[in-house]
Amino acid sequence: MTQAGGYIRISAKAKPGITCVLPAGLPVIAFGSGGTQAGPAEQSAGGEITLIGDKTVYAGLNPKSTGNNSGVEYDSVIVSVSNDDPNPVSLKTGSIVVDKPQVTNWHTSAAEAVPMN
């Protein structure tokens, strides 16, 4: 979901009947087959979060943290919970320009996931 400041809000929740634990820190975000990976948008890692029932977590993705017109155009993003996640998810974003992307930690509040400048 597109948010203020050029951020894309990503949400995740466990499938019905499944409990899962998201490790502390950032989701792993990459664009395209070249693997342009998002760096941290926050100074410290959040804690581990257990997803069960209807609990949803959110992360904010800024595809372009530079103030210039350069970048590479993509139309999807690959999201995983860790570097060794065997089942990353590819999400369509529509056409976006990516240059030094940044991502926030997982948050239990949608408002906290997308920093406001």
* Domains of the chain, residue spans: 4-110
Q: What is the pLDDT of residue 84?
A: 84
Q: Is the pLDDT of residue 117 over 70?
A: no
Contact 57, 111 (CB under 8 A): no
Residue 2 pLDDT: 54
- In DSSP notation, 95-110 reads EEEEBS-EEPPPBSSH
- Single-letter residue type at 85: D
Closest C-alpha among 90, 96, 20, 28 to residue 59:
28
pTM score, two decimals? 0.86
